Structure 1
Amino acid sequence: MKYTQQEKLQTMMLCEIYRTLGIQNSFNPDLIEEALSTNQYWAIDWEYPGLKSNEDTPEDVKFFVDTYDMYSILRYTYEHLDAAGKEEVAKSVSSFDEDHNLNFPGFDGNNETNYLIIGGLLKTMGRFSGEADLTKNSHLPSVDIYRRMLQVFLPARANYWVHGVGIPKEALIDTLNERIHPVHR
């Protein structure tokens, strides 16, 4: 769905009225205003299914969600390994550091701002549990890295994900090793 300039202005004015009147337990004017001002209309569809526009979720949003989910499952898998499995991961992944390799690093604030906007909207919508920083600035271009990692991770998640275990240890290792560009391996 696309909105005209007039429709955006009217809706944003209504959002301001909502805030001023303190209306709660209805629409979130902050979310609606952010979605409209950034042209991220999918957020309105996700938050208010009754207003669904029947448009597909944008690829950038799917990519963000898959990337964040990947890091959650990588950590989950690692935490469910025994000591020998964790040691194997540490030996098999170049410069392995649990915090650095298993926490969502975010997207580059200078070159990948669309993903930071998506993360902010998802956070406002409460789409991920915990204290995740969905707007974290990685300070380096990350999309290509995540694409390489997802090529290994997505099939593992689809074919082998088991609650209480995660994905296979080999898939964890292979996914983490994709962080390094093939030229530098």
Structure 2
Amino acid sequence: MEFTNQQKLIITMLSDIHAELKIADSLDPDFVRRAVCEGQGWALNWKYPGMFEDPAEDPENVKFVANVLDMWSMLEDSFKELNAEQRAELAVAADPFGEDVQFPGFDGNNEYELLAIARIFVNDLERWSEFTGRINNSHMRVTDGYQRMFEVFDGIRNDKIQSHDFGLLNVEQLAQVLNGRRHPSNV
């Protein structure tokens, strides 16, 4: 959902009035103002589903971040369930990515829009709450690696769904996804 400058001004003024009147049990005026002024109108559809008659489809960046958060959630959950022997096996099979499987975030310099989207999902929309306080600046570009990882992950997830296996990933599957992060020239 995109807004013109005039619409942003009107929404900002109405949000200020709403906040000053301390209207309870309604929209969050601070969130509305930030979403509109920061160009994150997509978040309004997520925060207030059903409010808009024809909600716009989420932008590609929003879909990408949702996929990445979903993938890393499964990776972390699966890693937590491994015993010491399985963790050692993963550390070797997915070196150096398999030693400590934690979402590194997005690059604050080059992927700041993705970082902002992830923070909105976790902090404002309270989705993927396991990442609360952990949407970090990775200090390096990660999107290409995440895209490669997600392609592997999506294939494994689809296979699991077709076989009615709704469990976590095993060591081999974790290694396959984590190794997807490698640059093709380093394989």
Report the Cα offset of residue 116 of structure 1.
1.7
Q: Secondary structure at the match of 1:157?
A: helix
Q: Distance in 1 between matches of 2:170 and 2:147?
A: 20
Deviations along 1:96-155, one digit per CA (max 9) or x if unpaired, are: 4643xx211111111111112212221211112235346411111111010111110112
CA distance in 2, matches of 1:112, 1:96: 21
Q: CA RMSD in A?
A: 2.0
Matches for 1:27-176 after TM superposition, within 5 Å: 27-52=27-52, 53-96=54-97, 98-99=99-100, 102-122=101-121, 123-133=123-133, 135-160=135-160, 162-163=165-166, 165-176=167-178
The one-letter code of the counterpart of 2:23 is: I
SS in 1 for 2:129: coil
- The two structures have a TM-score, normalised by structure 2, of 0.87
* Residue type at the aligned position of 1:113: Y
| Aligned CA distance change for structure 1 residues 160 and 168 (closer, same or farther; 3 Å) | farther
Conservation of the 8 A alpha-carbon contact between 2:152 and 2:176: yes
Q: Please state how far the C-alpha of 1:2 moved relative to its aligned partner.
A: 3.0
Q: 1:11 to 1:175 in 2, by over 3 A?
A: same
**For the residues of structure 2 that align with 1:133 and 1:73, how far apart are their CA atoms?**
18
Deviation track 1:36-59 (CA, whole Å, cap 9, x = no partner) reads 112221111111112233311111
Could you tell me which amino acid in structure 2 is paired with residue 110 of structure 1? N
Q: Give the Cα separation in 2 of the matches to 1:35 and 1:180.
A: 34
d(CA) in 2 for partners of 1:96 and 1:112? 21
Identity of aligned residues (%): 37
TM-score normalised by structure 1 residue count: 0.88
Q: Aligned residue for 2:24?
A: 24
CA distance in 1, matches of 2:97, 2:146: 17
- Partner AA of 1:78 in structure 2: F
Which whole-Å CA distance do the structure 2 matches of 1:91 and 1:135 have between them? 27
Q: Which amino acid aligns with 2:105?
A: G
Q: Which runs of 5+ in 2 are unaligned?
A: none
User: How far does residue 26 in structure 1 lie from its aligned partner after superposition?
Assistant: 1.1
